[in-house]
Structure 1
Amino acid sequence: MLIPMAGCVGRDGELGELERRLAQTTGSGADLVLLTGEPGIGKSALLRRLADRCAGAALFARAASWESTTPGSLLRQLLQADVSDDPVAAADQLVGRLPSRPALVAVDDAGEADPVSLHALSSAVRRHRHAPLLVVAAGRHLPSELVRLASDELRLEGLDAAATAELAALRGRVLHPTMAGVLARHTGGNPRDALALLDEVPAAVWSRPDSRLPAPAHVLVDVASRVARCSPETCALVEALAILEDGHPLGDVARLAGLEDPLSALDEADRAGLLAPWFEQHPRLRDALVRAAVVDRMGVRRAATAHRKAAEVVTDPVQRLGHLVAATPTPDGALADELDRQARARGAEGAWAEAATLFRDASRLTADPLLHDERLTRSVDARIAAGDCVGAAAMVPAVESLRETPLRDVTLAYLAILRGRAAEADVRLRRAWEIVNLERDPETAALIAQRFVLHALVQCRGSELVRWADKAIELGGRESHAGLEAAAIRGLGMAGSGRRAEAVAAYADVAARVPHGAQAQRVRMGRGWLQVIEDDVDGARTSLEAAVSMAFLGGSARISLWALGWLARVQFLTGDWDTALATVEQGRRLAAESGIVLADPLLAWTATQIQALRGDWTEAVAAVRAAESVTQGYPMMRVPTLLARAQIAEAEADYARVRRTLEPLVAMAPGTTLDEPGFWPWVDVLANALVVEGRYAAADALLQPHEQRATERDHRSTRARLGYARGRLLGATGDLPAARRVFEESLALLDGTSLRHDLARVHFAYGQTLRRAGKRREADEMLTAARELYLGLGATTYVERCDRELKAGGVHGERAGRAPDALTPQEEQVADLVASGLANKEVAARLYVSPKTVQYHLTRIYTKLGVRSRTELAAHRQSSLPESD
Structure 2
Amino acid sequence: MPRLVGRDADLAEVGALLDEPPRAVLVVGEAGVGKSALAAAALAGRSVRVGGALATLSWMPYLALRRAFPELDEETWGGDVAHVLALLGELLGTVPELPARAATLLVEDAHWADEATLASLEGLVGVVPLLITVRRGHPAAPDVAARLEKAGASRLDLEPLGGDDARRLLDRLRPGLVPAEAADLLARSGGNPLLLEELARDGVSESLTRAVLARCRALPEPALEDLVVLALAGRPLPATELAAIADLRESGIVGVDHDGVASVRHALIAEVVVDLVSEERRRRCHRVLVRLADHPGEAARHLLAVGDREAARGAALAAVDAALTPGERWRHLATAAEASDGDGAVLLRARAAEAACTAGEPGEAARLLDGLEVAGPHGVAVALARATQAFQAGEWDRYLAEVDRGRALAVPGTEGEALVRARQATAALVVRNDPATARRLAGEAVALARQQGLSAAGPRATAAGAQAALGGPGWEAEFAGAIAEARSDGDVYRELNARHNLVFALTAAGRLDRAAEEAATQRARCLELRLLKRARSAEISALVVDCCRGDHDRVLGESARLLAEQLSPGDRCDVQVVRGTALAQLGRVEDALDAAAAIGERASHAADHLAVRVYANAYGGHAEPAREAWSGFAASLGQEDVMVAEVTRAMAWLCHEAGWPLPERPPVTPAGLVAGTGPELDGVAALAAGRPAEAAGLFARARAAHGPRRWEALWCRWAEGEARRLAGDPSASAVLGEAAERAAEHGYAPILARCRRSLRALGERPPVERRRGTADPLTPRERQVVDLVVQGLTDAEIAARLGVARRTVQTQVASARAKLGADSRAHLAALGAGTVAGTGTGTGSEAAPA
Per the normalisation by structure 1, the TM-score is: 0.55
The alpha-carbon distance between structure 1 residues 495 and 540, as it changes in their structure 2 partners (threshold 3 A), is same
The alpha-carbon distance between structure 1 residues 275 and 631, as it changes in their structure 2 partners (threshold 3 A), is farther
**Aligned with 2:579: secondary structure?**
helix
**Aligned with 1:460: secondary structure?**
coil
**Aligned with 2:550: secondary structure?**
coil
Rounded Cα–Cα distance in structure 1 between residues aligned with 2:389 and 2:491: 24
The yes-or-no answer on 1:795 pairing with 2:771 is no
* 8 A Cα contact 1:571 1:579, kept in partner: yes
In structure 2, what residue type is equivalent to 1:759? A
The aligned residue for residue 770 of structure 1 is 724
**Aligned with 2:371: secondary structure?**
helix
Aligned counterpart in structure 1 of residue 579 of structure 2, from 607, 632, 650: 607
**Aligned with 1:811: secondary structure?**
coil
In structure 2, what residue type is equivalent to 1:631? R
Q: Which digits, 9 at most, give the CA deviation of each residue in 1:11-52, with x for residues without a partner?
A: xxxxxxxxxxxxxxxxxxxxxxx9976635899x99xxxxxx
Alignment of 1:610-621 (within 5 A): 610-621=582-593
The aligned residue for residue 511 of structure 2 is 536
In structure 2, what residue type is equivalent to 1:398? G
* 8 A Cα contact 2:552 2:582, kept in partner: yes
Rounded Cα–Cα distance in structure 1 between residues aligned with 2:516 and 2:256: 42
Q: Which digits, 9 at most, give the CA deviation of each residue in 1:295-346, with x for residues without a partner?
A: 8999544543543553xx55xxxxx244245325446557647856975997
Aligned counterpart in structure 2 of residue 466 of structure 1, from 417, 439, 463: 439
Report deviation, 1:593.
5.2
The yes-or-no answer on 1:430 pairing with 2:413 is no
The alpha-carbon distance between structure 1 residues 344 and 327, as it changes in their structure 2 partners (threshold 3 A), is closer
The yes-or-no answer on 1:507 pairing with 2:479 is yes
The alpha-carbon distance between structure 1 residues 363 and 460, as it changes in their structure 2 partners (threshold 3 A), is same
Aligned counterpart in structure 2 of residue 493 of structure 1, from 439, 455, 466: 466
The alpha-carbon distance between structure 1 residues 35 and 483, as it changes in their structure 2 partners (threshold 3 A), is closer
The alpha-carbon distance between structure 1 residues 62 and 657, as it changes in their structure 2 partners (threshold 3 A), is closer
The alpha-carbon distance between structure 1 residues 679 and 538, as it changes in their structure 2 partners (threshold 3 A), is farther
The yes-or-no answer on 1:446 pairing with 2:425 is no
* 8 A Cα contact 1:728 1:769, kept in partner: no
The alpha-carbon distance between structure 1 residues 67 and 503, as it changes in their structure 2 partners (threshold 3 A), is closer
The aligned residue for residue 544 of structure 2 is 569
In structure 1, what residue type is equivalent to 2:467? M
In structure 2, what residue type is equivalent to 1:762? C
Report deviation, 1:781.
2.1
In structure 1, what residue type is equivalent to 2:542? L
The yes-or-no answer on 1:64 pairing with 2:18 is no
Q: Which digits, 9 at most, give the CA deviation of each residue in 1:538-567, with x for residues without a partner?
A: 332333244346555667788556434432
* 8 A Cα contact 2:422 2:458, kept in partner: no
In structure 1, what residue type is equivalent to 2:698? V
The aligned residue for residue 323 of structure 1 is 299
The yes-or-no answer on 1:547 pairing with 2:531 is no
Report deviation, 1:506.
1.6
Q: Which digits, 9 at most, give the CA deviation of each residue in 1:601-643, with x for residues without a partner?
A: 4332222223233343332222111212x432x4xx2322221
Rounded Cα–Cα distance in structure 1 between residues aligned with 2:314 and 2:345: 11
Q: Which digits, 9 at most, give the CA deviation of each residue in 1:205-240, with x for residues without a partner?
A: xxxxxxxxxx9676688899999999x9xx99x979
Consecutive unaligned residues in structure 1, runs of 5 or more: 1-33, 47-58, 78-105, 113-136, 142-186, 193-198, 201-214, 247-252, 315-319, 815-844, 849-885
Alignment of 1:158-177 (within 5 A): none
The aligned residue for residue 681 of structure 1 is 646
Rounded Cα–Cα distance in structure 2 between residues aligned with 1:793 and 1:222: 66
The aligned residue for residue 760 of structure 1 is 714
Report deviation, 1:806.
1.8
The alpha-carbon distance between structure 1 residues 67 and 462, as it changes in their structure 2 partners (threshold 3 A), is closer
The yes-or-no answer on 1:741 pairing with 2:708 is no
* 8 A Cα contact 1:410 1:451, kept in partner: no
The aligned residue for residue 131 of structure 1 is none
The aligned residue for residue 333 of structure 2 is 359
Report deviation, 1:245.
5.0
Aligned counterpart in structure 1 of residue 606 of structure 2, from 623, 630, 638: 638
Rounded Cα–Cα distance in structure 1 between residues aligned with 2:222 and 2:686: 89
In structure 2, what residue type is equivalent to 1:647? Y
Rounded Cα–Cα distance in structure 2 between residues aligned with 1:547 and 1:325: 34
Rounded Cα–Cα distance in structure 1 between residues aligned with 2:166 and 2:286: 42
**Aligned with 1:606: secondary structure?**
helix
The aligned residue for residue 379 of structure 1 is 352
Rounded Cα–Cα distance in structure 1 between residues aligned with 2:287 and 2:497: 39
The yes-or-no answer on 1:648 pairing with 2:616 is yes
In structure 2, what residue type is equivalent to 1:326? H
Report deviation, 1:389.
3.3
Rounded Cα–Cα distance in structure 1 between residues aligned with 2:758 and 2:563: 38
Report deviation, 1:572.
1.9
**Aligned with 1:681: secondary structure?**
helix
* 8 A Cα contact 1:724 1:765, kept in partner: no
Count of matched residue pairs? 595
Identity of aligned residues (%): 16
The aligned residue for residue 379 of structure 2 is 405
Rounded Cα–Cα distance in structure 2 between residues aligned with 1:480 and 1:109: 70
Q: Which digits, 9 at most, give the CA deviation of each residue in 1:839-863, with x for residues without a partner?
A: xxxxxx9678xxxxxxxxxxxxxxx
**Aligned with 1:307: secondary structure?**
helix
The alpha-carbon distance between structure 1 residues 788 and 687, as it changes in their structure 2 partners (threshold 3 A), is same
The yes-or-no answer on 1:39 pairing with 2:32 is yes
**Aligned with 2:32: secondary structure?**
coil
Report deviation, 1:522.
3.2
In structure 2, what residue type is equivalent to 1:492? G
Report deviation, 1:536.
2.5
Consecutive unaligned residues in structure 2, runs of 5 or more: 1-26, 39-135, 138-161, 200-205, 768-846
**Aligned with 1:399: secondary structure?**
coil
Report deviation, 1:647.
0.6
* 8 A Cα contact 1:608 1:619, kept in partner: yes
The alpha-carbon distance between structure 1 residues 345 and 327, as it changes in their structure 2 partners (threshold 3 A), is closer
In structure 2, what residue type is equivalent to 1:756? R
Report deviation, 1:474.
4.0
In structure 2, what residue type is equivalent to 1:686? M
* 8 A Cα contact 2:387 2:400, kept in partner: yes
Q: Which digits, 9 at most, give the CA deviation of each residue in 1:801-828, with x for residues without a partner?
A: 32232222213489xxxxxxxxxxxxxx
The yes-or-no answer on 1:730 pairing with 2:696 is no
Rounded Cα–Cα distance in structure 1 between residues aligned with 2:264 and 2:440: 53
In structure 1, what residue type is equivalent to 2:734? E
Report deviation, 1:649.
1.6
The aligned residue for residue 307 of structure 1 is 290
* 8 A Cα contact 1:239 1:257, kept in partner: no
Q: Which digits, 9 at most, give the CA deviation of each residue in 1:627-678, with x for residues without a partner?
A: 12x432x4xx2322221011112122235654553356566445x532xx58
In structure 2, what residue type is equivalent to 1:365? A
Report deviation, 1:702.
1.3
The aligned residue for residue 806 of structure 1 is 759
Aligned counterpart in structure 2 of residue 721 of structure 1, from 665, 670, 677: 677
The alpha-carbon distance between structure 1 residues 364 and 273, as it changes in their structure 2 partners (threshold 3 A), is closer
The alpha-carbon distance between structure 1 residues 218 and 552, as it changes in their structure 2 partners (threshold 3 A), is farther
Rounded Cα–Cα distance in structure 1 between residues aligned with 2:286 and 2:218: 19
The alpha-carbon distance between structure 1 residues 750 and 625, as it changes in their structure 2 partners (threshold 3 A), is closer
**Aligned with 2:501: secondary structure?**
helix
Alignment of 1:587-606 (within 5 A): 587-588=562-563, 594=568, 596=569, 598-606=570-578
Task: Identify which of structures 1 and 2 has the higher relative contact order when contacts are C-alpha pairs closer than 8 Å and 6+ apart.
Answer: 2
In structure 2, what residue type is equivalent to 1:760? L
